[in-house]
Every structure is written in C-alpha cells, then in structure tokens.
Structure 1
Amino acid sequence: MFWIYILRCSDGSYYTGHTDNLGKRLASHQFGELLGYTSTRLPVKLVFSQSKPTREEALNAEQKIKGWSRAKKEAMMQGDWKKVSDLAKSKRM
C-alpha cells in the first residue's frame, strides 16, 4: 500500500508527497530529517492522506495534485468533489 499526503506547514503553505510508510514519513518531516521544503517550515500537520495500490498511482496522484491551485487542493481535502470539478473547468476556460 502506498500513500499520497498533504501537509500544512507552519507558514500556511501545503506540501504534497507520497510514501509507502505514512507514519515513518510524517515523523521524518516533523523532526526535520528530510532536508528541503518542510524542514524550514516546521511544525507540519497532516491534513490529507489517501491510499493507492501502487507506487506508480501514488506518484501520478502526487504530481497531479502538485499542479493544482490552493483552492482546488482545499476543496479536495474537504471532500468537495463538485468544487474540485468546477475549479478544473474554470481553469480550462
């Protein structure tokens, strides 16, 4: 099982990633062990996670979500799929 996840950083920004061990990855982010984006924005909080059956599917979902607007990510985190769809349509217009 693999996971896509979104963290809210201390500055209010979001970080999206994927992993095969969500608990271990979250701890690594929280303790600043993963140098980069989140290590300079601690603490972080898990605000969304979703399981995927394969690493490829998790990576594809991560890359797709990373390209989304903040509003679209927040709609997804709230489970508002109509708003996600509406936001996708408005971007195409």
Structure 2
Amino acid sequence: MYVLLCKDGTLYCGITNDLVRRISQHNAGKGARYTRGRGPVSLLRSWPQKNKSAALRAEFSFKKLSRSGKEAYLAV
C-alpha cells in the first residue's frame, strides 16, 4: 500500500507490486483517474503487505479515514 501527495494537496492511496513503475504511471498521466489531473505526485509513505488481500484491506481502511485521521496514520 502506498500514499501519494498530489499537486493540489490531496492524498491518494493505492496498492501495487511495483512501486517505482506505478508512481511513474501516475506522473505520466496513465495512473488512476483521480491522479491524472492532479500530478505530479510524490510518495509520502509505503507499507509492504503480506499479500493482495491484506493490501486491499489496508487500502480500504485507510480510505475510510477522515483527512485528519489519514494525517495521523501517516505520522505514526
């Protein structure tokens, strides 16, 4: 799981098995629809997960948090 900071100050959370490739895709406008108009993006933090299922659960939990909750999670 990874969290990006977009140019407009918003946060984007996603999962991947190749972080360098995925960030390049986001910055090239070929990533998620959300980040296409909000680039360039920068990596704030990433966490390895055991498997795809664990990564999806972590992503879902993070996305449910408020902005202040996300910032607190990132600060840990």
Q: Could you tell me the TM-score, scaled by structure 2's length?
A: 0.94
Point out the structure with the larger strand share: 1
Aligned counterpart, 1:78 = 75
- 2:57 aligned residue: 60
Higher Cα Rg: structure 1 or 2?
1
State the distance in 2 between where 1:61 and 1:33 align. 24
Structure 1 stretches (4+) deviating beyond 6 angstroms? none
Shift of 1:35: 4.9
The unaligned stretches of length 5 or more in structure 2 are: none
Count of matched residue pairs: 76
Q: Unaligned stretches of 5+ in structure 1?
A: 80-93
Identity %: 38
Alignment of 1:16 onto 2:13 = yes
Task: Give the 3 Å change call, closer, same or farther, for CA 9–57 of structure 1 in structure 2.
Answer: same
